Structure 1
Amino acid sequence: MSTSVAYVTFVDPNGFDDEKEIALAAWAGAGITGRVVRWDDPEVDWAAFDSVVVRSAWDYVDRRAEFLDWARRVESVTRLLNPAAVLARNTDKTYLRSLGDLAIPTHWVAPGEAVDFPDLDEYVVKPSVSSGARDTIRTGDRKKAETHAAQLAADGRTAMIQPYLDMVETEGETSLLYFGGRFSHAVRRNPALTGGALGSERQNGRAELRSPESDQLALAERVLAEFPEVLYARVDLVRLSDGAPVLIELELTEPYLFLRYAPGAAANLARALAEVL
């Protein structure tokens, strides 16, 4: 008997999510009937699904509280993947604090706190709740960085101040994809620190398949040990100036999975989902 699973997305008039069809086809091959639904559709009976898988809910940033309320409601009637507690933690990048030296060095400025951080050659300043490069700046001007951080804090948001790493110019970011706790594939990404439109990661030339180094795999597995109950995970790594890899972001909510980049990637996701079910 086929298992019914919701593939959760958002109102997507521009077709940003180009992974739906390949994922649903792989699910069908594993005996899973997938149905594409919007997370905010009031007509959906979530209890009718054997599981609900969050995929491209890319509008949650401006509606985070509503999105998390939805996640908790869904989890009360069926299995939600990834779990609501994971979504709550992962949608605010302050989770990086708990990962210590596994993550990129970050200075935090919460609402009401004074902006005081060390001199850097170049800064990246962004809010802790955001997606893509939204409301993110890269600048070598300390005053500009301070002003942006102060404005984010004044708006009731927590600001993150990080060093810009030259290594991203040559090596890029490495994204490691895991399904059911198992490594599936990895890509090299060329991050854009301006713009950050929805779906920008899938644009031609933004990524290429790569084989991760052993130190990157080891770091990714240490990070994921903190989140043992996830169906899907994207671990975004960069290298510091001394060559050591660090986590720049852990995507457990609605990551683009680069399913088209590696043969068998969609099947790996489907197999992991079937095992959970």
Structure 2
Amino acid sequence: MTNHHQSTRGRPRVAFVTCAELPDLDPDDRLALGPLAARGVAVEIVVWDDPAVDWSGYDLVVLRSPWDYARRRDEFVAWARTVPALVNPADVVAWNTDKRYLSELAAAGVPTVPTQWVEPGRAWTPPAGGEYVIKPAVSAGSRDTGRYDLTGPEHRELAVAHVRRLCDAGRVAMVQPYLDAVDTAGETALLFLAGPGGPAFSHAIRKGPMLTGPDLGEVALYKEERIDARSATTEQRAVAEKVLAVVPGGPDRLLYARVDLIPGPDGEPVLVELELTEPSLFVGYADGAPERLADAVLTHLARRR
């Protein structure tokens, strides 16, 4: 690693972008630094809103852990549009940082978790019963997210208050049925990394269930997750490929993609989220994944020569 005032003596100069709360990156991302150095790439860890940074001095700017963007999304998207050689590209960032993209994917035939959107200023009446997840359309790290059993009056009141709190802050709330298969099967994240022919499947992980009850206003940057290696099924791979095929602008521009799936009521995989902005890539959970991430960076550097 070098700082952003040092010469890299002709080596490709790449920024790994983070936030001030993670000045040394997420530890998982650091696993790619050695393979990149071995490939002759000089990587610098840079905070996205540091005014001293000259972004034009980098051959590639890779979004990694700028996880404080959710409360400053407009500022973050505006910044992304000023950065040359940003991956994933700024228009993808603008589209993917508002979870209303799920409606577009559903309209394109992608199986997704059914979602009700509550705009600021709109009244919301909770369903008569059942478990639901409430979260903002712009969020990261499972912040401002809660799980509610609407058969009970206390949870109904808390759910209404959660939606109101989000809308009063000018945020769009999303309400989704809680798919209880996640309690046993967990969530499967499929990771894709750029290659000569476009994004290629790299590995998969299992995330254990995280939501145990209502949102209590935690202010941590992100919620801790239980992660294990997992093999993706043929059905999961097929859904993930279908998701990537309908990304605006096409998938070939992507350096990375993470497709998060859970079993639907019929057991078939459905999309929870498509992570194209700053996802954890979990390269520490699969042999060769740090090297594949380094090669993905090289693929994008070669395209810009």
Calculate the TM-score normalised by the size of structure 2: 0.84
Does structure 1 residue 189 correspond to structure 2 residue 207?
yes
What's the CA shift for 1:147?
3.2
1:51 corresponds, among 57, 60, 63, to 60
Letter paired with 1:9? T
**1:262 maps onto 2:289 in alignment:** no
* In 1: Cα distance, 2:145 partner to 2:219 partner: 9
In structure 2, relative to structure 1, the CA distance for the partners of 1:13 and 1:240 (3 Å cut) is: closer
Deviation of the 1:118 alpha carbon:
3.8
> Could you say what secondary structure the match of 2:122 adopts?
coil
Tell which deviates more after alignment, 112-121 or 154-163. 112-121
Secondary structure at 1:73 match in 2? coil
When Rg is computed on C-alpha atoms for both structures, the one with the higher figure is 2
In the TM superposition, 1:109-124 aligns within 5 A as 109-116=118-125, 118-124=127-133
Aligned pairs for 1:175-214 (under 5 A) are: 175-180=189-194, 181-193=199-211, 197-201=220-224, 206-214=226-234
Q: 1:154 aligns with which of 152, 168, 182?
A: 168
Q: What corresponds to 1:28 in structure 2?
A: 37
Distance 1:276 1:13 in 2: 25
Q: SS at 2:27's partner residue? A: coil
Whether contact under 8 Å (1:185, 1:265) holds in the other structure is yes
**Whole-angstrom CA distance in 2 between matches of 1:165 and 1:28:** 43
Partner of 1:80: 86
Alignment of 1:244-259 (within 5 A): 244-259=268-283
- Structure 2 CA distance for partners of 1:120 and 1:222, relative to 1, 3 Å: farther
- Residue 5 of structure 1: SS of its match in structure 2? strand
Return the letter of the residue paired with 2:171: R
Which residue of the other structure, out of 212, 234, 237, is the alignment partner of 1:217?
237
**Contact persistence 1:236–1:247 (CA under 8 A):** yes
Cα distance between partner residues in 1 of 2:180 and 2:59: 46
Describe the SS at the equivalent of 1:28: helix
Distance between the aligned counterparts of 2:81 and 2:36, measured in 1?
A: 25
Structure 1 segments unaligned to the other structure (5+ residues):
none
Gap change, CA 1:265 and 1:13, over 3 Å in 2: closer
1:220-250 per-residue CA deviation (whole Å, 9 max, x = no partner) reads 1111112212111111111112101111011
Please tell me whether the aligned partners of residues 16 and 199 of structure 1 are also in contact (alpha carbons under 8 angstroms).
no
Shift of 1:145: 2.3
Q: What displacement does 1:4 show? A: 0.8
Provide Cα deviations, 1:105-125, integer angstroms capped at 9, x if missing partner. 111111122214544410111
Indicate if the aligned counterparts of 1:132 and 1:196 stay in contact, CA closer than 8 A: no
Work out which of the residue numbers 173, 178, 189 in structure 2 matches 1:164: 178
Secondary structure, counterpart of 1:217 in structure 2: helix
**In the aligned structure 2, how far is the partner of 1:53 from the partner of 1:210?**
26
- Deviation (angstroms), 1:32: 1.6
Q: Distance in 1 between matches of 2:139 and 2:209?
A: 15
Gaps of 5+ in 2: 1-9, 151-155
| Aligned counterparts of 1:31 and 1:200: Cα–Cα separation in 2 | 35
Residue 98 (structure 1) aligns with: 104
Cα distance, 1:191 vs structure 2: 3.4
Distance 2:298 2:23 in 1: 30
Label 1:147 to 1:241 Cα distance change in 2 as closer, same or farther (>3 A). Answer: same
Asked whether the 8 Å contact 2:16–2:44 carries over to 1, the reply is yes
- The alpha-carbon distance between structure 1 residues 236 and 209, as it changes in their structure 2 partners (threshold 3 A), is same
1:274 aligns to what? Answer: 298
Q: Distance in 2 between matches of 1:231 and 1:16?
A: 18
Distance 1:87 1:119 in 2: 36
Q: CA deviation at 1:177?
A: 0.6
Secondary structure in structure 1 of the residue aligned to 2:44: strand
**Alpha-carbon deviation of 1:16?**
6.6
* TM, length-normalised to structure 1: 0.92
What SS class does the counterpart of residue 243 from structure 2 fall into? helix
Task: Kindly indicate whether the alpha-carbon contact (under 8 Å) linking 1:16 and 1:198 is maintained by their aligned counterparts in 2.
Answer: no
Distance 1:263 1:170 in 2: 26
Identical positions, percent = 50
Equivalenced residue count is: 271
